[in-house]
Chains A and B, each alone.
Chain A
Amino acid sequence: MVGEEKRKKRLDRSIKVRTEGLYALSSWGEMAYLIMPRLVLILGLLVLPLILDMYWQRVLCSAGIYALLALGFDFLAEYVGLVCLGGAFFIGAGGYISGLLNAYLGWSPLLSIPIATIAGAVISTLVLLPCLRLRGIYFAIVSFMFPLFSVYIIIALNVFGSTEGISALANLPNIWVEQYLILGAVILSLFALRRLVIEDIGVIFQSIKDNDQAVNASGINITAYKAKAVFIASLIGCFGGAYLSHLYGWLGLSLFAMDFSILPIAASVMGGMGSLVGPVLGAFILTPLSEALRGFGQLRVVLYCLILIGFMVYKPEGLMNYLERKYHQFEHWEKV
């Protein structure tokens, strides 16, 4: 009897794999199993603003920006094979465009943010277009250069407020709009990306990562597809930038700060590369952590590094991959 049951279970499992999620409709238990983690994440993010005080609400907003960048980084690195260290360029492009539209033309943030998101993504894609032929570390180096490049152009040409920046930009209507806008963007882009990577276009991206010459030999223009991927990632990043300039009501050279390129990587490593959820989780842990450690002054960087090193040594797969593995073991739990 036990053997019979085990056999049935094994058959069921192979059917599950083939139906890709459709099996969930078979029972409430299966559905709950799939929905629970998603629900915890969404509700968790949506409830956070209600229980935090003013200061931590602000931290939550900037954590959201880092989450967006980490999401874009993870998508490009793990699903397309482009290690992009140019997160700061996305923030800068989005932030400057939105800020300038507001400062010079007086457009409301609700109009300038969407425009800056798209325009910034177009500019970022065009700038990165010539380097898309590069692979691996070479692409990483070149993409890392662009934020620095932009800073010196702005200083040299003495435009857009030069080194002082432009202050007194319009803020978003109130703190609730601020928080839910960024949290909504994080949730939306997270689930959109998770969807995208299993669609045909996502399969092509993955194939480009696995072997770009074989994709070329299948009659697909890899540069065009890489450009599409960069556009998607920079769309997410530029939204973060545009939002940031209105969050602080200020634009300046620190929008191109290296933090925006580095912290998302740390968040991805900690959260678990390739899971998309992991980097978001990582960003929502690391950003508040670096605020909490502020009391230690200069020492906080050291503590920060120790935590990161700890993760790399003891949990190199990252938080999310670990949790996911444990959660899936749950399913096969059998009482002996």
Chain B
Amino acid sequence: MHDESILRVENIRKTFGGVQAVKDLSFSLSKGEILGVIGPNGSGKTTLVNLITGFVRADSGNIFFKKRNITGIPPHKIVNFGLTRTFQVMRPYHSLSAFKNLIVPLNSPRVRRTRSGKLGDIDAVAIDILEEVGFERDARVPYKAAGTLPLGYLKRLELARCIALRPDLIICDEIFSGLSMSEITSLIPFLEKLQMEGTTMMMIEHRLRELFKLANRLIVMNFGEKIAEGIPVEVIENQEVKEAYLGTATS
């Protein structure tokens, strides 16, 4: 494990009306690790993702990505530094075919910079990436309109749009939710491969069993606060975590 931190969140805070969605949250993410973020519904996990990726502006606090302060920078610029995300509610471009969905990230400044001269056939590159995330190359699936694809493929497509950017950090917002067991087990090796290639990941997840297989470290959130942090086996034994998930014992 390297101790070089790639993302550092310092005392971040966000209020929506009277609701404190995220309260003075701090944590850091080392290069190459997989960090799991868990917590009951409404504990502020997705808000945290939105804050880090710039979709929501923080009330106070700082976020550093690769030693650069990215607080208050618009999302599309943050993405070009190498920080991407998937959406919890998938957002495919319905009317476009699956591989055309990747034309957008492949045209981002980040990818344009890294490709020297012309990329060649951009459609072929898109289909290669789809194959990487598990679309069958010779089937018709990559050519179908994204709006007609089943959920499993949409999740993969969402991931493929991230991979196309060759990011340093991917934030997966509930990538496993709604998937069948077999779909999840086919996705896990891919995520492990990404980690081996040096991609850092932060996974917001409700499927704890699968997450524990992958995650190097866990953060538990409740009511916008971090209530526990550590390696998975320790965290689930934590009394406060049990209470957050199962409720307090009443006499």
Tell me how far the C-beta of A189 lies from the nearest C-beta in chain B, rounded to whole angstroms. Answer: 23
For A200, give its contact among B75, B85, B122 (CB under 8 Å).
B122
A 195-215 binary contact with B (CB < 8 Å = 1; else 0)? 000001001101101110111
Q: Does B217 make an interface contact (CB < 8 A)?
A: no
Q: Does B95 make an interface contact (CB < 8 A)?
A: yes
A 208-232 binary contact with B (CB < 8 Å = 1; else 0)? 0111011111111110000000000
Q: Does A14 make an interface contact (CB < 8 A)?
A: yes
Q: Which of B72-95 contact A (CB under 8 A)?
A: 74-77, 79-80, 84-85, 87, 91-95
Mark the stretch among B16-24, B106-114, B196-204, B218-226 that contacts chain A.
Answer: B106-114
Q: Do B103 and A210 touch (CB < 8 A)?
A: no
Given contacts A18-B143, A200-B122, A222-B76, contact A217 B93 (CB under 8 A): no
Return chain B residues, CB-CB under 8 Å to A215.
104
Q: Do B75 and A206 touch (CB < 8 A)?
A: no
Q: Do A220 and B108 touch (CB < 8 A)?
A: yes
Q: Does B100 make an interface contact (CB < 8 A)?
A: yes
Report the separation of the CA atoms of residues A222 and B84 in the bound assembly, to the nearest whole angstrom: 16
Q: Do B79 and A218 touch (CB < 8 A)?
A: yes
Return chain A residues, CB-CB under 8 Å to B104.
203-204, 207, 214-215, 218, 220
Tell me how far the C-beta of A321 lies from the nearest C-beta in chain B, rounded to whole angstroms. Answer: 15
Return chain B residues, CB-CB under 8 Å to A217.
53, 55, 75-76, 79, 84-85, 87, 91, 161
For B76, give its contact among A14, A204, A219 (CB under 8 Å).
A219
Return chain B residues, CB-CB under 8 Å to A17.
143
Q: Do A216 and B100 touch (CB < 8 A)?
A: no
Q: Do A216 and B103 touch (CB < 8 A)?
A: no
Q: Does B105 make an interface contact (CB < 8 A)?
A: yes
Return chain A residues, CB-CB under 8 Å to B92.
210-211, 214
Q: Do A204 and B94 touch (CB < 8 A)?
A: no
Interface centre among A14, A200, A214 (most CB of B within 10 A): A214
Report the separation of the CA atoms of residues A216 and B77 in the bound assembly, to the nearest whole angstrom: 9
Q: Do A214 and B75 touch (CB < 8 A)?
A: no
Q: Do A207 and B93 touch (CB < 8 A)?
A: yes
Q: Does B179 make an interface contact (CB < 8 A)?
A: no
Q: Do B103 and A204 touch (CB < 8 A)?
A: yes
Return chain B residues, CB-CB under 8 Å to A206.
93, 95-96
Q: Which of A239-253 contact B (CB under 8 A)?
A: none
Q: Does B140 make an interface contact (CB < 8 A)?
A: yes
Number of residues from B at the complex interface, CB < 8 A: 32
For B105, give its contact among A18, A213, A219, A221 (CB under 8 Å).
A219
> How many A residues touch the partner, as a band?
20 to 34
Q: Does B71 make an interface contact (CB < 8 A)?
A: no
The closest CB in chain A to the CB of B90 belongs to A214
Q: Does B165 make an interface contact (CB < 8 A)?
A: yes
Q: Do B103 and A219 touch (CB < 8 A)?
A: no
Task: Label chain A's interface by main secondary structure.
Answer: helix
Report the separation of the CA atoms of residues A210 and B103 in the bound assembly, to the nearest whole angstrom: 14
Return chain A residues, CB-CB under 8 Å to B107.
200, 204, 220
Q: Which of A151-208 contact B (CB under 8 A)?
A: 200, 203-204, 206-207
Q: Do B103 and A203 touch (CB < 8 A)?
A: yes
Tell me how far the C-beta of A277 lies from the nearest C-beta in chain B, rounded to whole angstroms. Answer: 18
Report the separation of the CA atoms of residues A17 and B97 in the bound assembly, to the nearest whole angstrom: 12
Tell me how far the C-beta of A223 lies from the nearest C-beta in chain B, rounded to whole angstroms. Answer: 9
The closest CB in chain A to the CB of B53 belongs to A217
For A219, give its contact among B80, B93, B101, B122 (CB under 8 Å).
B80
Q: Do A219 and B165 touch (CB < 8 A)?
A: yes
Tell me how far the C-beta of B77 lies from the nearest C-beta in chain A, rounded to whole angstroms. Answer: 8
Q: Do B165 and A14 touch (CB < 8 A)?
A: no
B 110-128 binary contact with A (CB < 8 Å = 1; else 0)? 1000000000001000000
Q: Do A214 and B93 touch (CB < 8 A)?
A: yes
Return chain A residues, CB-CB under 8 Å to B164.
218
Tell me how far the C-beta of A225 lies from the nearest C-beta in chain B, rounded to whole angstroms. Answer: 10
Tell me how far the C-beta of A196 lies from the nearest C-beta in chain B, rounded to whole angstroms. Answer: 14
Tell me how far the C-beta of B66 lies from the nearest C-beta in chain A, rounded to whole angstroms. Answer: 15
Tell me how far the C-beta of B203 lies from the nearest C-beta in chain A, rounded to whole angstroms. Answer: 17
Q: Which of B17-70 contact A (CB under 8 A)?
A: 53, 55
Return chain B residues, CB-CB under 8 Å to A219.
76-77, 79-80, 84, 105, 108-110, 165
Q: Do B140 and A210 touch (CB < 8 A)?
A: no
Interface centre among A200, A215, A216, A218 (most CB of B within 10 A): A218
Q: Which of A16-48 contact B (CB under 8 A)?
A: 17-18
Tell me how far the C-beta of A227 lies from the nearest C-beta in chain B, rounded to whole angstroms. Answer: 14
Tell me how far the C-beta of B63 lies from the nearest C-beta in chain A, rounded to whole angstroms. Answer: 16
Given contacts A219-B110, A220-B76, contact A214 B103 (CB under 8 A): no
Interface pairs (25), CB distance under 8 Å:
A14-B140, A17-B143, A200-B122, A203-B96, A204-B104, A207-B96, A207-B101, A209-B95, A210-B92, A211-B91, A211-B93, A214-B92, A214-B161, A216-B55, A216-B75, A217-B161, A218-B79, A218-B164, A219-B79, A219-B80, A219-B84, A219-B109, A219-B110, A219-B165, A221-B76
> Which residues from chain B sit less than 8 Å from chain A, CB to CB?
53, 55, 74-77, 79-80, 84-85, 87, 91-96, 100-101, 103-105, 107-110, 122, 140, 143, 161, 164-165
4 residue pairs, one from A and one from B, having the closest CB atoms: A219-B79, A219-B108, A210-B93, A214-B91
Given contacts A204-B103, A213-B55, 6 further A-B contacts (CB under 8 A): A206-B96, A207-B104, A210-B92, A210-B96, A211-B93, A218-B164
